């Protein structure tokens, strides 16, 4: 087995072991932390499809994270208010069913990413970073001025949404859901990486002039990757909103984009389990350093600086060595 595969397996099992141990020790808060790791990792897996596979440095992924979160609120609040979702042109009820909410989030995230990507991908380099940031901020200000969903204050969803056969209010059940979704997304990212699509995308990232000379247009490839990326991150947003039972514009703010980006860099850009390792490290730092000092982000910044300067493959790169081409 390749060293990285082994490492990935260890990380996956460790993330599973923590909440099981916490359950045995009756430490529900640790389960919640592990769930948060899984969900942020999922958001990072989404970003990594754009950033790692496609080389698109998006500083606007909070847009998709927030779209997923607000999609959850849009679908679930009518139910708690005993109102229909809409009455025109057809009468449609809201839903508290997670599978339907996830579907809504994925579709909304994909549509949002298609719109933002189609425009942003006409630029490149620093302009791409700025334009994705600008789109994210546009949605942020829109949410702030959207009174129906609490504006600046956001909106609470009092009862966690349901999943057939599970009690989602039980922290371990909810963790299991988030973990399963994360594994599914990792499988998707893995398959993408080794597919003809992933090959063309890697080529477009590393040698764009050559890929065009081979008859492949990078724009459409990148747009497709951006759409998939946005959809996965939106799914994470829906889960995150369910974890907190609360949605607010801060999900859409550029701080959120930055955090998702930071955790991918911490773990390793373009490495399959980079976002998982990064999210775990991020949450651990936030929890323990945050307990010691309210300036914990300063330490986070220093660690980030160290990784960018000395360990470009992030945690995964440091532990598993250089990336080897897919076989």
Partner 1 sequence: MTDPVLEVRNLHLSFGALKATDDVSLTLCPGEIHALIGPNGAGKSTLIGLIAGNLAPDAGQVLLNGRDVTAQDVAARAQAGLARSFQVSAVAPGLSVLQNVALAVQGARGGSFRLFRRALSDRALTGAAMTQIDRVGLTARRTVPAGDLAHGERRRLELAMALAQAPRAFVLDEPMAGMGPDGAREMTTLLDELRHEAPILLVEHDMDAVFRLADRISVLVSGRIIASGTVAQIRANPEVQTAYLGEERLE
Tokens of 269: 């850009």
What's the closest the beta carbon of residue 133 comes to partner 1, in angstroms? Answer: 27
If the CB atoms of residues 204 and 238 are measured against partner 1, the closer one turns out to be 204
If the CB atoms of residues 69 and 193 are measured against partner 1, the closer one turns out to be 193
Q: Helices (DSSP H) in the chain: which residue ranges?
A: 3-24, 28-48, 62-80, 98-120, 125-144, 171-194, 196-206, 208-213, 218-244, 254-267, 274-292, 296-310, 314-320
CA dist 202 and 55 (Å) reads 8
What's the closest the beta carbon of residue 149 comes to partner 1, in angstroms? Answer: 34
End-to-end Cα separation, the chain, in angstroms: 13
If the CB atoms of residues 118 and 214 are measured against partner 1, the closer one turns out to be 214
What's the closest the beta carbon of residue 306 comes to partner 1, in angstroms? Answer: 24
Cβ atoms within 10 Å of 168's Cβ, excluding its own: 17
If the CB atoms of residues 33 and 225 are measured against partner 1, the closer one turns out to be 225
What's the closest the beta carbon of residue 208 comes to partner 1, in angstroms? Answer: 9
If the CB atoms of residues 154 and 193 are measured against partner 1, the closer one turns out to be 193
Q: Are 105 and 72 in contact (CB under 8 A)?
A: yes
If the CB atoms of residues 72 and 202 are measured against partner 1, the closer one turns out to be 202
What's the closest the beta carbon of residue 37 comes to partner 1, in angstroms? Answer: 27
CA 198 → CA 33, 134, 170, 221, 223, distances in Å?
Answer: 33, 28, 38, 9, 13
What's the closest the beta carbon of residue 193 comes to partner 1, in angstroms? Answer: 10
- Residue (of 252, 257, 255) closest to 69 by Cα position: 252
CA dist 192 and 198 (Å) reads 5
Instruction: List contacts with partner 1 (CB under 8 A).
Output: 191-192, 194-200, 202-203, 205-207, 209-217, 220-221, 224, 323-327
Q: Are 278 and 265 in contact (CB under 8 A)?
A: yes
């Amino acid at each position: 087995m390749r060293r990285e595969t082994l490492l990935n397996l260890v990380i996956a099992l460790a993330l599973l072991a923590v909440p099981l141990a916490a359950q045995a020790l009756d430490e529900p808060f640790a389960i919640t932390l592990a769930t948060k790791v899984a969900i942020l990792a999922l958001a990072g897996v989404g970003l990594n499809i754009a950033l790692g596979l496609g080389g698109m440095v998006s500083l606007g992924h909070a847009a998709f994270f927030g779209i997923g979160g607000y999609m959850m609120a849009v679908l679930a609040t009518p139910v708690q208010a005993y109102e229909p979702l809409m009455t025109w042109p057809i009468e449609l009820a809201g839903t508290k069913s997670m599978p339907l909410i996830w579907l809504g989030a994925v579709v909304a995230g994909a549509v949002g990413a298609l719109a933002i990507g189609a425009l942003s991908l006409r630029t490149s380099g620093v302009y791409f970073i700025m334009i994705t940031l600008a789109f994210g901020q546009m949605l942020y200000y829109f949410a702030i001025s959207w009174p129906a969903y609490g504006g600046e204050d956001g909106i609470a969803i009092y009862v966690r949404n349901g999943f057939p056969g599970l009690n989602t209010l039980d922290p371990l059940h909810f963790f299991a859901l988030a973990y399963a979704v994360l594994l599914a997304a990792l499988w998707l990212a893995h398959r993408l990486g080794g597919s003809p699509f992933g090959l063309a995308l890697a080529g477009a990232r590393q040698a764009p002039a050559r890929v065009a000379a081979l008859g492949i247009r990078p724009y459409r490839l990148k747009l497709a990757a951006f759409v998939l990326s946005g959809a996965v991150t939106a799914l994470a947003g829906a889960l995150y909103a369910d974890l907190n039972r609360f949605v607010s514009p801060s999900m859409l703010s550029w701080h959120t984009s930055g955090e998702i980006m930071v955790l991918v860099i911490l773990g390793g850009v373009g490495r399959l389990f980079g976002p998982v390792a990064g999210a775990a490290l991020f949450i651990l730092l936030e929890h323990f350093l945050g307990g010691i000092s309210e300036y914990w982000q300063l330490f986070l910044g220093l660690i980030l600086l160290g990784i960018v300067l000395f360990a470009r493959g992030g945690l995964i790169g440091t532990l598993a060595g250089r990336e080897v081409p897919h076989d």
